[in-house]
Amino acid sequence: MESSILDLIGVEIIGVMSPVSICMLLVVLIVYSLSPSNPFSAAPAPPIRTAANLVYLESPSDSTAEKFEGALLNALVFVIVIAVVTFFLVLLYYYNCTGFLKNYMRFSAFFVLGTMGGSIFLSMIQHFSIPVDSITCFILLFNFTIVGVMSLFSSGVPIFVRQGYMVALGIFVAAWFTKLPEWTTWALLVALALYDLVAVLAPGGPLKMLVELAQSRDEELPALVYEARPTVSQNGIAQGRSLDLLVGGVSESGSVEMQTVSSNNLDRNESQNRVNSGYNVIQDTNFGNMEGVQRRDEVERSQLVGFLEERRSSGSSSSEYSTVVGNRDSEIVADEERSPLVDAPEMRNGREQMRDGQENSEVSSRGIKLGLGDFVFYSVLVGRAAMYDLMTVYACYLAIISGLGCTLILLSVRRQALPALPISIALGVIFYFLTRLLMEPYVVGTATNLMMF
Amino acid sequence: MTVAAGIGYALLALGPSLSLFISVIAKKPFLILTVLSSTLLWLMSLIVLAGVWRAFLPLKSTTWWPFVILILTSISFQEGLRILFWKVHKRLEDMLDAFADRLAKPRLFLTDKMLISLAGGLGHGLAHAVFFCLSLLTPAFGPATFFVDKCSQLPFFLVSAIIALAFVTIHTFSMVIAFNGYAEGNRLDQFFVPAVHLVAGMVTLVNFARGGCVVGIPLLYLMAILTMLHCGRMVQRRLSENRS
């Protein structure tokens, strides 16, 4: 029995969603097990002062207006700090200080894994009374950290390890962020979502500049980015295309003329239309769908239209690299902000090249990439929700995941780097407050009377 | 120990659907997406309902008729939403078929369509269990338990987990029945589903009487078993028709 169509669709979406889910789940568990509400850890820790609350230190006795104002100020300052640091990093990248940037990333990863991770491990050990002596613990932590640092920018490390460390970094930073006071957290999340929107989409935004710079240079960004790579490289062409095709189906489902062509290469026609409308005539002569046939056709065609083809393939190869995105603009002292950014490679162009049979190395650079900042701030939102109730956690989780799904679908339509924070954070915040204010009394009221439906 | 109890309650409510998820759904990414979106839809319906009812809450737990109205409105709203969900699902099927044609793959099999409806139903059921049982379970992990007056035989968490299990079953399989009914134009199935949902909701009203849960829960399980049997028979019939 042939594999049905259901097996093909959505692989890359799940490939991104599952690490995000794992990250959120672990952060919620950490928040739950280490939250001061349990009787063993007595007094809450004194509030920490960081770049995220430079201006205003929230205390429970303040009035709402004071808290609100202070939280806004904090968020503003934090965003400004991040913007300045990002510009600085872009400047460094512009002047080709890639080595410095990479080492800086390594150092910060070392710092995060060693200190933040270390402190989380320590409190775990204390909380669960794990019998470990300090020397063993130190050696283990050191090894863990060193492997993490090495896995960042070297190609020799299995991708699974690298993904694991990315998720671990996200978890540590997020768990640390949940220690911020409540109002500041919300203001910060909203402010970052807005900043993300501006930085990625507005002309002259730092992240947009960074992406374009990397495009024009054909190199990978020295950035902390999660890559959902293995699924693509293992299963090859079909999966890389599926999201693409599905979205293609959405966009063209209304147009009847496309349907009547009734050949297997509708999608190809469509993509060619976008690339160069002049290809239509030639494209219509392609009717097979077998890859082998395709390739032959492609060769023929490239002979026919050599000039155009060449021009186009050069164009696509440059944009192929451009897909590497994400980035990270962070500052250790000012905590870590990792560039909230999603990017998908131009699957269409990648596909073209693959059919041309020229690309093997490039296949490995495909796959959706998600900036580590998105991991962090999704998890911060969920972790903050976990401090209220489990109900809000579920609602926020669903909202964030659906926001991520929307962003990914948008990505395959727009084919450019997109900010991943705004939709998800907006949905998450809305659902949090709706759940907290509206749903909880309703559900608790009916369920405690044992009434369900 | 209490942690074990909490996990036990959670697994009692969600265990069957968890195994269903792992054995059937998790292999096909598209089905996972279906589960997620259907869960989100149910959550949104709950939020809308809660928003409408917010003004009247909290209801006094001595009078029972407001609860009847609440359950009636909630169930009718959700059944209306099911029709909407069916329309979306129908369009999705067409889209997938068009997509399959383009890839020169076979169109959706009957089993595929049923899997999609199963995933949709599972999403509804999961959302129910998560919001009505799991989210109230936090205190169960602590060093105490909680009894409600009206059903003092069992801890509250255990009762809610048992009820949630019944509802997960009903939601999961009634979605399969409903979608099949819509696809075939079978009037009986189309009305069977809201009827089961309504009866199940009304049966929980029995819990309102003191000690009523001793009667209410078996009745509820009767509805769940009825749904499962009907679904099983229907799927068998469709499959054998399809094969011949």
Collapse the DSSP code of A418 into the 3-class scheme (helix H, G, I; strand E, B; otherwise coil) and give the result. strand
pLDDT (0 to 100) of residue A353 = 37
pLDDT (0 to 100) of residue A221 = 67
CA distance A17 to chain B (A): 10
Region B120-136: what's the mean pLDDT? 88
Annotated catalytic residue A374: yes
Higher pLDDT, B235 or A450: B235
Q: Do B160 and A450 touch (CB under 8 A)?
A: yes
Which 116-135 residues of chain B touch chain A by CB within 8 A? 116, 128, 130-135
Q: Which residues contact B22 (CB under 8 A, 6 or more apart)?
A: none
Burial B62-88 (b: 16+ CB within 10 A, else e): eeeeebeebbeebbeebbebbeebbee
Q: What are phi and psi of A343, to 5 degrees?
A: -150, 140
Q: Tell me how far apart the alpha carbons of residues B198 and B167 are, in angstroms, rounded to a whole number.
A: 12
For A88, half-sphere exposure in the C-beta direction (CA atoms, 13 angstrom radius) is 12
Q: How many CB pairs under 8 A join A and B?
A: 181
Region B145-150: what's the mean pLDDT? 78
**Hey, of B36, B41, B118, B171, which one would you mutate to test binding to chain A, going by the most A CBs within 10 A of its CB?**
B36
pLDDT tens per residue across span B156-167: 888 889 989 999
Chain B residues within 8 A of A5 when measuring between CB atoms: 96, 99-100, 103, 105-108, 112
User: Active site residue: A7, A133, A196, A389, which one?
Assistant: A196
Q: Tell me how far apart the alpha carbons of residues A218 and B78 are, in angstroms, rounded to a whole number.
A: 52
Chain B residues within 8 A of A403 when measuring between CB atoms: none
Q: Do A452 and B156 touch (CB under 8 A)?
A: no
CA dihedral A273, A279, A284, A285 (to 10 degrees): -150
Q: Tell me how far apart the alpha carbons of residues A423 and A193 are, in angstroms, rounded to a whole number.
A: 8
CA distance A315 to chain B (A): 26
Residue indicated by tokens 């002047």 = A95
Cα–Cα distances (Å) from A314 to A319, A357, A386, A413, in that order, read 9, 15, 49, 22
- Pick A246's closest partner by Cβ from B49, B99, B131: B99
Q: Tell me how far apart the alpha carbons of residues A364 and A222 are, in angstroms, rounded to a whole number.
A: 17
Strand partners, A369: A227, A343
**Hey, of A12, A429, A442, A444, which one would you mutate to test binding to chain B, going by the most B CBs within 10 A of its CB?**
A442
CA distance A414 to chain B (A): 20
Average pLDDT, rounded, for chain B: 86
Higher pLDDT, B202 or A299: B202
Q: Do B28 and A267 touch (CB under 8 A)?
A: no
Chain A residues within 8 A of B208 when measuring between CB atoms: 449-451
Chain A residues within 8 A of B132 when measuring between CB atoms: 443, 446-447, 452
- Pick B36's closest partner by Cβ from A402, A434, A442: A402
Cα–Cα distances (Å) from A349 to A344, A367, A405, in that order, read 12, 13, 22
Q: Do B163 and A450 touch (CB under 8 A)?
A: yes
pLDDT tens per residue across span B49-75: 888 888 777 767 677 788 888 888 888
Residue A442 contacts B where some CB pair is shorter than 8 Å: yes
Give the DSSP letter string of A125-186: HHHHT----HHHHHHHHHHHHHHHHHHHH-TTS-HHHHHHHHHHHHHHHHHHHTTS-HHHHH
Q: Do B50 and A5 touch (CB under 8 A)?
A: no
Which 399-438 residues of chain A touch chain B by CB within 8 A? 399, 401-402, 405, 431, 434-435, 437-438
Cβ A105 vs Cβ A218: under 8 Å: no
pLDDT (0 to 100) of residue A326 = 36
pLDDT (0 to 100) of residue A337 = 40
Which 168-207 residues of chain A touch chain B by CB within 8 A? none
Q: Do A402 and B37 touch (CB under 8 A)?
A: yes
Collapse the DSSP code of A369 into the 3-class scheme (helix H, G, I; strand E, B; otherwise coil) and give the result. strand
Which 42-71 residues of chain B touch chain A by CB within 8 A? 43, 46-47, 49-51, 53-54, 57-59, 61, 67, 70-71
Q: Do A453 and B201 touch (CB under 8 A)?
A: yes
Handedness of CA B39, A239, A247, A170 (dihedral sign): positive
CA distance B81 to chain A (A): 14
CA distance A231 to chain B (A): 12
- What's the pLDDT band for B22 if we cut at 50, 70, 90? very high
Q: Tell me how far apart the alpha carbons of residues B82 and B178 are, in angstroms, rounded to a whole number.
A: 8
Which stretches within B103-186 are classed as H helix? 110-132, 156-184
Cβ A185 vs Cβ A288: under 8 Å: no
- What's the pLDDT band for B168 if we cut at 50, 70, 90? very high
- What's the pLDDT band for B232 if we cut at 50, 70, 90? very high
How would you write the pLDDT of chain A (453 residues) with one tens digit per residue?
456 677 777 777 888 888 889 999 999 888 888 765 544 444 445 555 666 666 666 666 777 788 888 888 888 888 888 888 888 888 888 887 777 888 888 888 888 888 888 888 888 888 888 888 889 999 999 998 988 888 877 777 788 888 888 888 889 888 888 888 888 888 888 888 888 888 888 777 778 887 777 778 777 666 677 776 554 333 333 334 444 444 443 333 332 222 223 333 333 333 333 333 333 333 333 333 333 333 334 433 333 333 333 333 333 333 333 333 333 333 333 333 444 444 444 333 433 333 333 333 333 345 677 888 888 888 889 988 888 888 889 999 999 999 988 888 888 887 777 888 888 999 999 999 988 888 888 888 888 777 777
pLDDT (0 to 100) of residue A285 = 32
pLDDT (0 to 100) of residue B1 = 62
ipTM over 0.95: no
What residue type is A410 in one-letter code?
L
pLDDT (0 to 100) of residue A52 = 62
Which 74-113 residues of chain A touch chain B by CB within 8 A? none
Chain A residues within 8 A of B51 when measuring between CB atoms: 434, 438
Residue B167 contacts A where some CB pair is shorter than 8 Å: yes
Annotated catalytic residue A329: no
Chain B residues within 8 A of A250 when measuring between CB atoms: 95
Collapse the DSSP code of A227 into the 3-class scheme (helix H, G, I; strand E, B; otherwise coil) and give the result. strand
CA distance B187 to chain A (A): 23
Q: A117: which 2 tokens?
A: 């991770």
Q: Tell me how far apart the alpha carbons of residues A95 and A89 are, in angstroms, rounded to a whole number.
A: 10
Collapse the DSSP code of B85 into the 3-class scheme (helix H, G, I; strand E, B; otherwise coil) and give the result. helix
Q: Do B106 and A2 touch (CB under 8 A)?
A: yes
Radius of gyration of chain B (CA): 19
Q: Do B67 and A453 touch (CB under 8 A)?
A: no
